[in-house]
Structures are given as structure tokens and as C-alpha cells.
Amino acid sequence: MLKELNLSWLIRYGYSGMLLYLMLVIAYPAKVKVYTDAAGPVLAPLVVLTAGACIYVFYRHIVGEWVLFPLAHLVDYLSYGGNRRNGQEASSMICHLYKLGVPANNLRQAYTALRREFLLPDIKKQLDLAHSEVFVLYISVAELGALGCVLWWQHANGFPLVLAAAGLILVSALAADVRQHRSEYRTMMIGGSEPYIDFLKKLGYLQERSRTALT
């Protein structure tokens, strides 16, 4: 039970910190060795985990919420014509909520509320783990991009390669995220739209069904 509960958490926080540590070892091996030896075998892993937690929070609420997630939803929306035509099924839950009539500026909040508060625990764990796997790609983009900028600012060699790698991983992350959201949509829509409509109305995200959506 404990393993199931912590797996998603460990992926999000642990990977962020370990990737940062790995990049620092490659860029500044001597300095990192000094600080690692000073911290010791107990404190050093805790420092890495703490750094990972800070990186994840910044990524989740700033970089992800305002840049990466909207970009993924835009790619998903534009890549499937049914999202822009009434009477056809949407490609993802975000696009489905838009068709139901949730205002565009509330789509992320409504979608997050559904995943956190409405879904059954087993389904929620399954989706959380799937999103954690996509997170590995996104956080790699964010940290490699930051490293590339630092190397460029310091006029160090290798920054074009680092930024190119970040760009390649970004394309892969967007493709994986779009695919994940489409798979997630099929899972969440097994019971139709009506239960979601009532839930969204109670939270104030949906006032009336101003658009046509398949149920």
C-alpha cells in the first residue's frame, strides 16, 4: 500500500533532484564532489530530494501551468478536427469540457478538480502514475533548457547540443502527453458525461450546456 501511494511522489520529486544532481556533476564535477562529501551519505540524498521538491513545485505551478500544459492542450486541440465540430467526440477530457461549455479560462481548474475529487481511488492512482511518466520528459526539458541557458551565459561549450536535446525531448513529451490525455479520456468517459456535468455545476465551473457534446 505504501509503495503504491509513494511511487508517483518519488518519481516527481526524486527524478527532479537526481537529474539536477547529474547535470551539476557533469558541469561542475569538482565543486559537486566537495559539497557531496561535506553533506555526507545521509544528508546528501535528503538535499537532492528537497531540491527535487522545489523544482517540481516551480515546474508544476509556473512552467507547466503557464507554458507546457497549455501548449500540449493546444497541440491536442488542433491535431483532431472533431474538437472543433459539434456532434463529434472530443479527443481529450480538456476538449470535452470545452465542448460541454466550461469557460476556457477555467478548463484546467475544472479538469484538475475532476481528477482529484471525482474519480475513484484506483483510477486516480492509475492516471497519476501515467502523468508522472510524462512528467519525466517535461522536467527533463525544463532542466536541460535551464542548463543550456547557463552554459550559454557562461560562454561554455556544449550549450547548442544541450538545447537541441531539450527541444527533441519537448517534441517527444508533447506527443506522449497528447496520447496520454486521449487514453485518459476513454477511461474517464466510460460512464458518459452526465455525472461530470452535475459535479461541475456544483463547483460552479459549468452553468449551462452551451455546446453540444457526445455522451
Per-residue pLDDT of the chain (215 residues; tens, 9 = 90+): 344 445 677 788 889 999 999 999 988 899 999 999 999 999 999 999 899 999 999 998 999 889 999 999 999 999 998 888 887 889 999 999 998 899 999 999 999 999 888 888 888 888 888 888 899 999 999 999 999 998 899 888 888 999 999 999 999 999 999 999 999 999 888 888 888 888 999 999 987 554 444 44
Q: What is the pLDDT of residue 149?
A: 92
Residue 44: closest CA among 6, 23, 135, 52: 52
Give me the residue label for grid cell 478548463: 107
pLDDT tens, residue by residue, 132-184: 889 999 999 999 999 999 889 988 888 899 999 999 999 999 999 999 999 99
Global pTM?
A: 0.83
Q: What is the pLDDT of residue 206?
A: 87
